[in-house]
Amino acid sequence: MNTSQPILPPAMLGVLGGGQLGRMFVVAAKTMGYQVTVLDPNPDAPAAAFADRHLCAPFDDKAALTELAECAAVTTEFENVSADALHFLADHTVVSPRGDSVSIAQNRIQEKAWIQKAGLETAPYQAVCSLDDITEASAELLPGILKTATLGYDGKGQVRVKTLDELKAAFETLNRVDCILEKMVDLRSEISVIVCRLNSDNEQTFDPAENIHEDGILAYSIVPARLSADVQQQAQDMARRLADELDYVGVLAVEMFVVGDTHSLIVNEMAPRPHNSGHHTLNACTTDQFQQQVRIMCGLPPADTRLLSSCCMANILGDVWKDNGEPDWLPIQTDLHAYLHLYGKKSASRGRKMGHFTVLDQDAGTAFEKAQSLHAKL
């Protein structure tokens, strides 16, 4: 369904998923005076704490989806929601992002095809859906990474391979599900650009974030990215081109690799939602990525995305809850330029995203050093 009139407070908005992204979405929506319904099967879903209504049911529960469809508009906080659920909702209310955009982002084979369709570079790759797809020609892509086409995140569902024999073994290890084989590229750094798009006349991008991973999980995002202004501009143009090609409506995160001495950019993947690498926008930008999500689903143009201060966002994983004791928040809480965000998750475990903090500083490199030193004190 499509409405031409913007949806205004105190309308009820719906969100599929009640994790930390859903929680920050709810906070943004509530702050603007909207009401929010969250659908999430977890009774302790982080977003439910702030929502007006929590439909505690599976994501494909027809009765719950029918209730959610009564909201003035619905969005999602994660990409692995079934496209069927989004299509069902779209028959009754305004849904963004659209189901077709979400299903493209769910599948690396489709995703890569769309990136190329937008005229953008990817790492050289091929689809591997059966053993027969592995031929002599596949050797061109070695050393490479075999990635499952669906359901991969935080580096899961990936095997690095050097030879055709290793490639075949890896395909077996991944249970012969549809995969893509990607050539290893000469990665110099990783960045992401968040595009906020209502339509071709109303589109904004945030400055690229430089992302530092540890054990396959995002650890720090540094903004502005330590790259030339030209490369940063090019990254924003590329992200926008991809959003245009998809005629995307909503918040889209585009991950890119900075490759080789020339710092050329290739697109790795996209997420049809706010992204962990955009959490700094909560403290460092005129508008944050969750406010943009609210605005766009309500048919409002995305607002100004200006970066007000250089900064570094640091993730807080469950790993820092030693012996189940609460980490020491005092150093962050007493720092006048650090901002703590905790997601209210009931239990901490290794690799689980429990919160983040953002350090502001005149210089992004200094912000990164300060964030590392504060993180070491947790």
Q: Which stretch binds Mg ion (CB under 5 A): 17-25, 212-220, 253-261, 324-332?
A: 253-261
Q: Does 108 show up as a binding residue in the annotation?
A: yes
Q: Which residues sit opposite 251 in a β-bridge?
A: 196
Q: Does 156 show up as a binding residue in the annotation?
A: yes
Q: Does 250 show up as a binding residue in the annotation?
A: no
Q: Does 346 show up as a binding residue in the annotation?
A: no
Minimum CB distance to ligand ATP, residue 356 (Å): 15
List interacting residues with ligand ATP (CB under 6 A).
123, 145, 147, 152-156, 182, 184-185, 187, 190, 213, 255, 268-269
Minimum CB distance to ligand ATP, residue 188 (Å): 10
Burial class (CB in 10 A: 0-12, 13-18, 19+), 340: middle
Cα Dmax for the chain: 61
Q: Which is nearer to ligand ATP, 34 or 257 (CB)?
A: 257
Minimum CB distance to ligand ATP, residue 268 (Å): 5
Q: How far is CA 178 from the centre of its chain?
A: 22
Q: Does 184 show up as a binding residue in the annotation?
A: yes
Element (H, E) at 106: helix 99-106
- Residue 119's nearest CA partner among 218, 37, 293, 242 is 242
Minimum CB distance to ligand ATP, residue 139 (Å): 16
Q: Which is nearer to ligand ATP, 156 or 306 (CB)?
A: 156
Which of ligand ATP, Mg ion, none does residue 62 bind (CB under 5 to 8 Å by kind)?
none
Residue 237: half-sphere exposure toward Cβ, Cα within 13 Å: 9
Q: Which residues sit opposite 314 in a β-bridge?
A: 220, 357
Q: Which is nearer to ligand ATP, 6 or 155 (CB)?
A: 155
Rg (C-alpha) for the chain, rounded Å, is: 21
Which of ligand ATP, Mg ion, none does residue 367 bind (CB under 5 to 8 Å by kind)?
none
Indicate the SS3 state at residue 360.
strand
If one counts every other C-beta atom within 10 angstroms of the C-beta of residue 204, the result is 21
Q: Does 203 show up as a binding residue in the annotation?
A: no
- Residue 38's nearest CA partner among 63, 10, 6, 74 is 74
Q: Does 111 show up as a binding residue in the annotation?
A: no
Minimum CB distance to ligand ATP, residue 35 (Å): 31
Q: Does 377 show up as a binding residue in the annotation?
A: no
Asked if residue 268 lies in contact with residue 218, where contact means CB atoms within 8 angstroms, the answer is no
Residue nearest to Mg ion (CB): 255
Indicate the SS3 state at residue 339.
strand
Q: Which is nearer to ligand ATP, 70 or 215 (CB)?
A: 215
Which of ligand ATP, Mg ion, none does residue 154 bind (CB under 5 to 8 Å by kind)?
ligand ATP
Minimum CB distance to ligand ATP, residue 104 (Å): 14
Asked if residue 315 lies in contact with residue 372, where contact means CB atoms within 8 angstroms, the answer is no
Indicate the SS3 state at residue 327.
coil
Q: Provide the annotated binding site.
A: 108, 147, 152-158, 182-185, 190, 213, 268-269
Q: Provide the annotated binding site for ATP.
A: 108, 147, 152-158, 182-185, 190, 213, 268-269
Please give the residue ranges that form the binding site for Mg ion (CB under 5 A): 255
